[in-house]
Structure formats: C-alpha cells, structure tokens
A and B are shown apart, each in its own frame.
Chain A
Amino acid sequence: MSIIVVDNVKLNGRDGKVILDGITFTVEEGDFLGVLGPSGAGKSSLFKLLNRLLSPTSGEIYYRGKNLKEYDPVKLRREIGYVWQKPYLFGQKVLEDLTYPFRLSQEKPDMELIYKYLAQANLKEEILAKKPTELSGGEAQRISLIRTLLVKPRVLLLDEVTSALDTENTRAILDLILREKEEKNLTVLAITHNLEAFNFKKVLYLNAGQVKYFGEGKI
C-alpha cells in the first residue's frame, strides 16, 4: 500500500488564486522523492498540505490508507515531519529548540541523541548555548533539520534544507538524511534546486500548480 496518496488535490489561496490544481501522485514507503519546479509552482504549499497546516480546497490526501482528515492533527504532524525553507528558531538558546520535541512528547531530553545529530551535521556542541540570532543561515538550517528529526517522524518533508550550505555541509546533511532514511526506513520528500547532490531516483515536477512530470529518473 502506498504511504501517501494525493488524489486530484486543488488548493486556492485566500484571494481565490489557484495555487495547486488537480495534483495526483503516490509515494511508496521508503521513497526518496524529489519535488521540483520553479518558484511559485506550489511546492511549499504541497508540503503544508501534507503536514496539514493547510487543507485542500478539493480532492483528498491519504496517509497509510486513511484520509488525512481522520487523523488527529497533532499525531499526524509528528508522523509527517516538515523542515521549513526558512529555518525559524524560536528558543532563547539553540538548546531550547532542540529539546522542544521532547517537551512536546513529555519525555526527558535525550542529550546523547542531540549530540549525535550535531556531530553528524558538522556542528559543535557549543552551539547549544548560542542564541538563534548568533547562527549563520547554514547553521540554523541544520538545527532546524535536527529539531524535526528529534520528533521521530516516519515521513520527512524537506523544503530547501541545503540552500544556505556549502558543498561540505551539504554532503554532511545529505549523509545524515540518507543514514536516517536507511536506518528507520523513512520516506523522504525533498524540494531542492541542488539536483546533483540529491540524486533522486524518482521526481515530481510541478509548474504553475500542476504536475508536469511524475516518475522515475531525472528531469
């Protein structure tokens, strides 16, 4: 059974403008799907629909065979983790952002896991004591990714997570994502313009809110 089924989904903006128009595709468990297309194609809106921050104007989305509407939004969002394009960090210190997922699940923060992710993302432990405003764009992106990984999602939606990273850090982040994917059989959907680094085997190409291509191989 497909893990995600998007069936003829349409999304209109507040002003009535069509953002997504008749989107249909399926994602299998363990897929590493590239979501591609020019700016304004509706890629981030699609991720917001999957994370249920938005609801479709028409059409249906299914996760593990059940309509998204039937899930408790809180539980669903912990299953389908979303890493935003703009890494918004809200804690006084970075530590607060990384312990937030544990606060939500009312668990004791697993500092070993946090240190492990920091090391894998090429970040030093000292970063935990920094204020989010003291971080570079690339550091903030990596913290934002780690924060979502700590929620332990089954599906990962990555919105331009390497856009502010150099080649070395892009590699580190990709290794981290791929390792997580293999170890936990995560399903990953990624928006990126860095096709070379991501090397997707399956892609969804959107333009002007419509699916222009969906399938194996590269565009």
Chain B
Amino acid sequence: MSNWSLFLSFSLVILAMLVSKKEKLFLEKDLLVGSIRAVVQLVAVGYILKFIFAQNNFWFTTALLLVMVLNAAYIAGKRGEGIKNSHLISFGAIVMGLSVTLGALIAFRAISYKPSQAIPVSGMIVGNAMVAVGLVFRSLKQTFRDRREEVEVKLSLGAPPREAAFSLIRESIKTAMLPTVDQMKTLGIVQLPGMMTGLILAGANPLLAIKYQIMVAFMLAGAVTVAAYVASYFAYRGFFNEDFQIVS
C-alpha cells in the first residue's frame, strides 16, 4: 500500500464527519482528533518498534514488555477500586499470565524471544489478560454485594474465607474466561481475527496465517485463565478482614 493510498483512505473519516454533521451527532471534532491521535500514536509506536527491532536487545524488549504490563495493570487495577491492593494484584496476575504463556510458546519453539515476535505476541496476551483481570474484579465486587448473605452463612458455619467465597471465586474466573472461549468457538466462522487479517493483507500464505492464529487462540486461552485465576485468588482476600468477617 502506498502512502498516497493510505492518505486517500482518510476520505472515509471525512465521510463519517459529513454524516455526523448532517445528522447533528456533534462527533466531527472527536472524529478529527481521534484520527489525528491514531496517526500520531501509531507512527510513534512504529518508530519505537523499528528502533527496538533493530537493536534486538533482550533488555530493551523486556523493558517494553514491562511498560505494557504496568499500563495494563494500572487500567485493570482501576476496575478493582475498593478491592485491597487491586493494582498490585493486577500486576501479578498479568505478569503470571504473560510469563506462563510466553514461556510456553518459547519453550515449544512456536516463537522466539526476539522483539519482532515477543512484542506483538505479548501485546495480545497482556491486552487480553488485562480485560480478564478487570472482569474478575467486577464480578467479585458484584457477587460479594449480591450474595453477601450466602458467604456470611457459610462463614457462620465455620467455613474459612476461601471456602465461603469459593463459588464466587469460581464464577469470577468463569466470567473472565467466557469471552475468550466464545471467541475461540467462532474463530474463522464469525470473525477473521486481527492478526490473521493483518498477515493475509501483508501477503502471507493464508495457511501460515491460520497456523499463527491457532497459536494465538490457544495462547489467549492460557493467558486469560492464568491471569483470572491468580487475580481472583488474591482479590477475594480483600473482601475479608483478619477476623474472617466480610468488610463493608
């Protein structure tokens, strides 16, 4: 694709702005700012990635992954406002999800730890783990509010907090995993995922693109499960005090 072709594709944003103006959606400014931001951010990332890929340095790559994880942990942690140590838990859960999945892929020689492979793959893992951790927090907050009585009855019978909250923990993990499971079920039928589309557009053999996409699907299932599991088993503790009472 030439730069000129890319530039012409901006006409589609202009079309959106015209619709917005005609229908009085008042989104023209947002559309303009959004597209400029997208261009600036992506160009910046493109240059950063080009630099890091050229360095091919273990520490540079690791530092970039850490920045990704920190950002994701911050965003997921915000979903857990009110839960003790939610940012720390998000960080731990995402790091675990990333380490286990990336480690496995490298061990199986599916990819290698070079920036051009580790960074995009980690981006997908971290992004999905972030969503999963956010869902765990939301589910726990919701179920501890809705099913407080169930937990208290179990506590009153002499159940330790983990046992008393067991069904809530299980539900939160399931809630976090379901979107990924559903996505796996519809892969190739309802949607052609981003990575595969990108590879095909870039001229890769569709069969190779499919191989990578299958790897991504499996990897995300693993990452989401590990992150959700770690997050829920640490986060539920924040709902109890040292006397094993539910905190308000």
Contact = CB atoms under 8 A, between A and B. Distances in A.
Interface in B122-179: 149-150, 152-160, 163, 167
A100 B243 CA distance: 22
Given A55-B243, A84-B153, A88-B150, A104 B248 contact: no
Contact of A51 (B154, B156, B163): B156
Contacts, number: 54
Nearest to B153: A88
A74 interface: yes
B156 A84 contact: yes
A113 interface: no
B244 interface: yes
B156 A86 contact: no
A202 B152 CA distance: 29
Given A53-B245, A55-B245, A88-B150, A101 B155 contact: no
Nearest to B158: A78
Interface residues of A, number: 24
Contacts of A54: 245
Contacts of A101: 157-158
Nearest to B242: A73
A97 to B, nearest CB: 10
Nearest to A77: B158
Contact of A90 (B153, B158, B243): B153
A104 B153 contact: no
A141 to B, nearest CB: 13
Contacts of A151: 157-158
Nearest to B163: A104
Given A86-B149, A88-B150, A90-B150, A100 B157 contact: yes
A86 B248 CA distance: 21
Interface string A50-88: 011111000000000000010001110110011010101
Give me the 9 closest cross-chain CB pairs, A-B, nearest first.
A78-B158, A73-B244, A77-B158, A82-B156, A88-B153, A90-B150, A51-B156, A88-B149, A74-B160
Given A52-B243, A55-B245, A81-B156, 18 more contacts: A51-B156, A53-B155, A53-B156, A55-B243, A73-B155, A74-B158, A84-B156, A86-B149, A88-B149, A88-B150, A90-B154, A90-B167, A100-B159, A101-B158, A104-B158, A147-B157, A151-B157, A151-B158
Interface of A: 14, 51-55, 69, 73-75, 77-78, 81-82, 84, 86, 88, 90, 100-101, 104, 147-148, 151
